[in-house]
A = this chain, B = another copy of it.
Amino acid sequence: LAVVLGTAVAFAPIPRITWEHREVGLMKFQEPGIFNYSALLMSEEEDTLYVGAREAIFALNALNVSEKRHEVYWKVSEDKKAKCAEKGKSKQTECLNYIRVLQPLSTTSLYVCGTNAFQPTCDHLNLTSFKFLGRNEDGKGRCPFDPAHSYTSAMVGGELYAGTSYNFLGSEPIISRNSSHSPLRTEYAIPWLNEPSFVFADVIQKSPDGTAGEDDRVYFFFTEVSVEYEFVFKLMIPRVARVCKGDQGGLRTLQKKWTSFLKARLICSQPDSGLVFNILQDVFVLRAPGSKEPIFYALFTPQLNNVGLSAVCAYAVAAVEAVFSRGKYMQSATVEQSHTKWVRYNGPVPTPRPGACIDSEARAANYSSSLNLPDKTLQFVKDHPLMDDSVTPVDNRPRLIKKDVNYTQIVVDRTQALDGTSYDVMFIGTDRGALHKAVILENEVHIVEETQLFPDSQPVQTLLLSSKMGRRFVYAGSNSGVVQAPLAYCGKHSSCEDCVLARDPYCAWSPPTATCITLHQSESPNRGWIQEMSGDASLCPDKSKESFRQHFFKHGGTAELKCSQKSNLAQVVWKFQNGVLKAESPKYSLVGRRNLLIFNLSEGDSGVYQCLSEERVRNKIVSQLLTKHVLEVKVVPRMPVVLWTPTAPALP
């Protein structure tokens, strides 16, 4: 006899509208023979989108990516390819040059690194000539050897911060700063990095109104093998790590190593439902104009029992910093000679606090640089890089949980609705080439729409959001190409009800023009526009002139009445002379779940047929007349022939 402990719960918000690839006609870029369009970089000033693919870099018109402005190829020599193949790698797929770093170096040049047939190399790309300078810098520690290995990088003050693997096998992970005057790196030790998969890195500048003398911080996001948790098999754990821009390393201890490297668990779970999301897929930093602090939006999947489940958790930068600046540390202990266990460290913590950036307080205590930090502090951070406290998400729960999907990439836009309320609109790519646009309305996830970006269902490898007012797009890269999608398809909503029911903060109904318009933040909103994020369509103007279609059919025939409705959340209801019709009766049938078939027409079938959509919004049904048909059945005198008569009895 059993007691059911595990509860199966439905996390299945359905995208309200599904746009097929052919329906949206997106701008796209695709160069024959070129694959893996995985690095995207935007220059807002130049309206240029730089794309790093396999063995090629392109400059595209950001307003129309199908327009190529420049291209440059960076191929592996046959000689190198042969050497790489000798080491047992595939000539066709692995021994090529995958662009992995594409960062702005100056207004006239980019810093580019590629795997280069397992000999990672970096170069400078001159943007005027669109030619490489031929620097041939060693890319070790900046770019992985193997295109299958994880990597991330950020350009901060002209210095490249990178998380990747340092050797051919990919067994030595590293987080490094590549700087001529102060190169730094992580210790090669399990407590620092334990088989990490790097996902994202970026800098957060000291807050302009913050404590004087604060330092910029560079954050790294990755998933690694957990040392503090154990289960039936290896557990992965998502981490955020942080280093300080002003770090100079130690003088003796931690020489040329980070003295400010600390890392902490990211929690994205819902204990009541037994949900634990512990594999990071992507991170986006939302820097909304006007808001004090950036927010980290992190995309997760579970490691355990994942048969299609994804989640988004949001973290405040202050919550991350609080763990690093005030949290407890972890320590390892040996149990019974042979087992290493990690537990909370409860002992005394040296001063200055290990792992802290040099701030004005430290400077006042005469620690002007990490080079003159006391040995005690350095030794402590070397042994205790892991925090015991966890970083918990905003509201202490996931923003979004979605079943039956594997999300791969996320970008987020904060936008203002007509009424002034701000919404964080999440654009999330799937492993099947789709883009979901999700918004939180009254604590519930509403997926406004799903767009099939790539016709071949390739995973979305990269997403990029442009921020230029008035011409905003989401760019997506996959193995086969790059597409450019608008933030909204307002114009495709043909009625006021549809425009309001979309519950899309970018869209509003304009009664004078009878169109669903895209709100641009730059324009001043018109008072007559209708937008109700609650989905309340009662403000929509009455359709004074009801249109209808008239049909004549003959007696005994079959009529098919059409009705079109895009919303996946709506149900189509047919009415005849104001009474609801029961489909799937001998008289009626629904085709494609929308169109009505009427069989064996007789005079009694003449009359008015109405197709309505019923959509549930906040437990209220919004009913909308979609089409009206007027049908007239004409009598044809019967002929003396036997009609509609099965004769031969059915044999078994």
List the interface of chain A (C-beta within 8 A of B).
1-11, 38, 149-152, 197-200, 223, 228-233, 235-236, 267, 269, 271, 274-276, 278-282, 299, 301-309, 331, 333, 335-339, 341, 343-346, 403, 406, 408-409, 431, 459, 461-462, 494, 545, 547-554, 556-558, 560, 584, 589, 591-592, 597, 599, 630, 634, 636-637, 639, 641-648, 650-652
Inter-chain contact A643/B634, CB cutoff 8 Å: yes
Contacts of A299 in B (CB 8 A): 2
Inter-chain contact A646/B549, CB cutoff 8 Å: yes
Inter-chain contact B4/A459, CB cutoff 8 Å: yes
Contacts of A591 in B (CB 8 A): 589, 591
Inter-chain contact B233/A307, CB cutoff 8 Å: no
Q: Shortest distance in angstroms between A330's beta carbon and chain B's nearest beta carbon?
A: 11
Q: Shortest distance in angstroms between A112's beta carbon and chain B's nearest beta carbon?
A: 15
User: How many copies altogether?
Assistant: 2
> Given A549-B648, A557-B556 in contact, is the A233-B639 Cβ separation under 8 Å?
no
A interface: dominant SS: loop
Q: Shortest distance in angstroms between A223's beta carbon and chain B's nearest beta carbon?
A: 6
Contacts of A584 in B (CB 8 A): 592
Contacts of A150 in B (CB 8 A): 1, 3
Chain B residue nearest in CB terms to A408: B2
Q: Shortest distance in angstroms between A128's beta carbon and chain B's nearest beta carbon?
A: 28
CA distance A501 to B224 in the complex (A): 48
Contacts of A345 in B (CB 8 A): 336
Inter-chain contact B304/A2, CB cutoff 8 Å: no
CA distance A229 to B599 in the complex (A): 65
Q: Shortest distance in angstroms between A562's beta carbon and chain B's nearest beta carbon?
A: 9
Contacts of A304 in B (CB 8 A): 274-276, 302, 304-305
Contacts of A647 in B (CB 8 A): 550-552
Inter-chain contact B230/A6, CB cutoff 8 Å: no
Chain B residue nearest in CB terms to A1: B152
Name the 5 nearest CB pairs between A and B, nearest first.
Answer: A547-B651, A558-B558, A550-B648, A6-B301, A3-B150
Q: Shortest distance in angstroms between A358's beta carbon and chain B's nearest beta carbon?
A: 31
Inter-chain contact B338/A335, CB cutoff 8 Å: no
